[in-house]
Amino acid sequence: MTPVAAKPAAGSPQARMEIPGSMYPAGAPSFGFLQETRTISPSAGQTQPEPAGIEPNVPHELNLSSYSFDAKALKRDFPILRERVNGRPLVWLDNAATTQKPQSVIDRLKYFYEHENSNVHRAAHELAARATDAYESAREKVRRFLNASSAREIIFVRGATEGINLVAQSWGRRNIQKDDEIVITWLEHHANIVPWQMLCAEKGAKLRVAPVDSTGQILLDEYEKLLGPKTRLVALPQVSNALGVVPPAVEMIEAAHRHGAKVLLDGAQSVSHMRVDVQSLDCDFFVFSGHKVFAPTGIGVVYGKPEVLEHMPPWQGGGNMIQDVTFEKTVYQAPPQRFEAGTGNIADAVGLGAAIDYLDRAGMANISRHEHGLLVYATEQLQQIPGLKIIGTAKEKAGVVSFILDGFRNEEIGDYLNRNGIAVRSGHHCAQPILRRFGLESTVRASLALYNTGEDIEALVTAIWNLRLGRTSIA
């Protein structure tokens, strides 16, 4: 691809232009998934207000990637981004920890509690019907968002962590035996390590770990050497939360399936950055958290192939997940209800549906291109700061710049940025093994979302330059 010209200094008028996602310098992080597009086809009869950053009167059946995308206008859809922190406008660059919520999601939650609040599925009254329709409509929106083949493949849970534990406790306890092997990678969040360690300890199985190279990318040859007749499960991230590295998931899934293993793909850090198609990926399980994709906390999703879910026992018992109960035995519901014991997080599932509506209207192809431009810009500008080292320099990256700065503790950097109104994460990011692979205990992590702008990057870079040069007084 043709390299772009060197970027102007942060803060200059020329630097305030968005960088086209199709143009980036040699060696810069790339988004291989940008070649994909997504057709938006919301449910018939639904009407939602247009996000401010999308041209009005755009037909919903068209692919939105060809329409203008205005992150500054989209930012106005998020009330919290009008906050001031320490007297300065909030710059939210902690999106890998949680994303902010658009007004449409906030309004949808309010509407649910004002007009629909009820338990679902069983009651004969009007509010129960409304709540059930809203809840199951959200399930269908998730199905479409992931391109699952049926809403019966979509299980609501509290988040990706609970989703992984569900798979470990239900599928894992039934299928993992002594001396079997589970393969994970060095890139994992603790949530995709600890449940498998617990299962291996219980069953006498072995946990094997695929290494990464000096850029943070999976070493495919070494990964394939770990696979064999004892491999029962491979669990890997679609995007690393600590480094932003995008592993070659399709190749890794294909290799695992050649050895008869099932695959769980952790999508907590991917769903807000790229189009996800579970049928194309061919993963057996896919998990994500709503709060990482502009939805409320406390709601998440497990996708599972129907032939796999059908043979999994429930992992919790209670109401909703039963067909019949006597004192002698219980007959369980079919998936997904089999795995949704008790009263679910109904309102926040509806909020997740509203967040998916918002993303559909913005267009995932638009979002990916926009964030890619920001990632390239941030990488270029930060690399010009003496003593700053970016951790995770693989070609395929999404939405995260993780770095250290010689002479400064990471907590010190985070505190200084906070005093400038800039929110980043300083710490181990619940991913200690991958940071220790690089000889570190923590990094500073700036992570992107659709509402971030070139000005946000400039604010980050300017503040770090000031810290580097000793200009630490806050006006």
Q: Does pLDDT of 35 surpass 80?
A: no
156 in helix, strand or coil? strand
pLDDT digits (tens, 9 = 90+) for 436-450: 999 999 999 999 999
pLDDT of residue 69: 85
Collect all residues with Cβ–Cβ distance below 8 Å to 39 and sequence separation of at least 6.
61, 62, 63
- What is the third-level CATH fold of 13-100+363-468? Aspartate Aminotransferase, domain 1 (3.90.1150)
Domain with CATH 3.90.1150.10 in the chain: 13-100+363-468
Q: What is the DSSP letter of 169?
A: I
Alpha-carbon gap, residue 210 to 249, rounded angstroms: 13
pLDDT of residue 249: 98
Contact 232, 196 (CB under 8 A): no
Q: What is the DSSP letter of 307?
A: H
- What is the third-level CATH fold of 109-359? Aspartate Aminotransferase; domain 2 (3.40.640)
pLDDT digits (tens, 9 = 90+) for 96-154: 999 999 999 999 999 999 999 999 987 789 999 999 999 999 999 999 999 999 999 99
pLDDT of residue 68: 67
The pairing of strands 322-325 and 91-92 is unpaired
Give DSSP secondary structure letters for 14-36: GGGSPPPTT---TTS-B-GGGG-
Residue of 396, 410, 407, 395 whose CA lies nearest to 440: 410
**pTM of the full structure:** 0.87
Could you tell me the two tokens for 170? Answer: 């239900």
Catalytic site includes residue 200: no
Which residues are bridge partners to 331 per DSSP? Answer: 324
pLDDT digits (tens, 9 = 90+) for 208-250: 999 999 999 999 999 999 999 999 999 999 999 999 999 999 9
Q: Does pLDDT of 3 surpass 80?
A: no
pLDDT of residue 335: 96
Residue of 430 and 39 predicted with greater confidence: 430
Domain with CATH 3.40.640.10 in the chain: 109-359
- Which residue out of 197, 430, 432, 455 is catalytically annotated? 430
- The three state secondary structure string of 40-53 is CCCCCCCCCCCCCC
Could you tell me the two tokens for 235? Answer: 């669990």
Q: Which residue has the tokens 């008869």?
A: 260
Phi, psi at 263, each rounded to 5°: -130, 130
pLDDT of residue 402: 98
Q: Which residue has the tokens 């206008």?
A: 73
Residue of 309 and 55 predicted with greater confidence: 309
Q: Does pLDDT of 4 surpass 90?
A: no
Which residues are bridge partners to 236 per DSSP? Answer: 265
